[in-house]
């Protein structure tokens, strides 16, 4: 399983685009697509048929406003296979509303291209399984576990972890989690110190932290020192960093 951290920023960081991660097994899945993601994605890959699915964790602009331009360029460039948008039951309504505002009649162009797959607990998509759990965020957010026969990766979307998401993360090969601050507890977000405790208490093999608040990002050295002192397998991926699990 190949993981590409396309972009690792929060909503308003001038130096880092919105968090978006690409999972590549046989199927290619994009996790979230905020307003600053499409350009980064096109620089990475211009094949209109490259993606098989896009998972949307929640309806904040920095996690899904990039969908209309991404889809319109796929159509312009001649996509000829289905693309599945995966998320909660209101996903179709939200995406159509956004497309109508952004590019009128885009829904007609995409009629034969996009499909929607609602996930409640667990669903199968191609060779992969998707399982979701709700985190504590200011709007409904799904953390997701994506697994094949032998590997599993979790992505938090946004939100503080809770019993439900902790049990989703348990025994995963990699957990990709938002880390908004170093030690300040902000409602609806996770911080480094709590994530270190999570990693220590649960059997997570590797923990990648992204979506750092722009002010916390300025203290990257301090963050890396805290991580080193923890002795745990935790890292802050750089944009476009790629790992295999
Ligand atoms: Zn959010």
Structure confidence by residue, pLDDT tens digits, 152-169:
999 999 999 999 999 999
Indicate whether this model's pTM tops 0.75. yes
Per-residue confidence (pLDDT) for residue 203, from 0 to 100: 84
Tokens found for residue 139: 């709007």
Q: Where are the domains of the chain?
A: 2-244
Ligand 1 mean position to 57 CA, how many Å?
Answer: 9
Cα 207 to Cα 10, 15, 69, 125, 192, distances in angstroms: 18, 23, 31, 25, 11
For residue 34, how far is its CA from the centre of ligand 1 (angstroms)? 10
Separation CA 229–CA 103 (nearest Å) = 50
CA 170 to chain centre: 18
CATH 3.40.50.12780 fits 2-244, yes or no: no
Backbone angles phi, psi at 23, to 5 degrees: -110, 125
Q: Which segments in the chain show pLDDT lower than 70?
A: none
Which pLDDT does position 149 carry in this prediction?
A: 83
Interval 168-205: pLDDT, tens: 999 999 999 999 999 999 999 999 999 999 999 988 99
Ligand 1 mean position, distance from CA 180 (Å):
11
Cα(153)–Cα(64) distance, rounded to whole angstroms? 21
Task: Quote the ligand 1 centre to 199 CA distance (angstroms).
Answer: 22
Quick check: helix, strand or coil at residue 153? strand
């Amino acid at each position: 399983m190949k993981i590409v951290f396309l972009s690792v920023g929060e909503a308003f960081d001038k130096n880092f685009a919105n968090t978006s991660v690409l999972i590549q097994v046989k199927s290619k899945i994009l996790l979230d697509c905020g307003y600053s993601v499409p350009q980064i994605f096109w620089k990475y890959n211009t094949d209109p048929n490259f993606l098989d699915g896009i998972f949307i964790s929640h309806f904040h602009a920095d996690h899904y406003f990039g969908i209309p331009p991404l889809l319109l360029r796929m159509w312009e460039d001649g996509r000829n296979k289905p693309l599945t948008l995966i998320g909660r039951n209101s996903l179709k309504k939200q995406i159509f509303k956004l497309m109508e505002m952004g590019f009128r009649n885009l829904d007609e162009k995409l009629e034969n291209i996009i499909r929607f797959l609602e996930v409640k607990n667990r669903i199968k998509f191609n060779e992969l399984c998707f399982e979701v759990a709700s985190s504590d965020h200011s709007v409904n957010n799904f953390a997701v576990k994506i697994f094949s026969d032998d590997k599993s990766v979790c992505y938090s979307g946004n939100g503080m972890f809770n019993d439900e998401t902790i049990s989703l993360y348990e025994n995963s090969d990699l957990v990709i989690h938002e880390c908004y601050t170093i030690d300040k507890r902000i409602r609806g977000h996770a911080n480094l110190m709590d994530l270190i405790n999570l990693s220590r208490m649960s059997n997570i093999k590797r923990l990648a932290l992204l979506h750092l608040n722009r002010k916390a990002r300025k203290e990257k050295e301090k963050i890396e020192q805290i991580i080193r002192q923890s002795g745990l397998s935790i890292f802050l991926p750089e944009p476009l960093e790629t790992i295999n699990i």
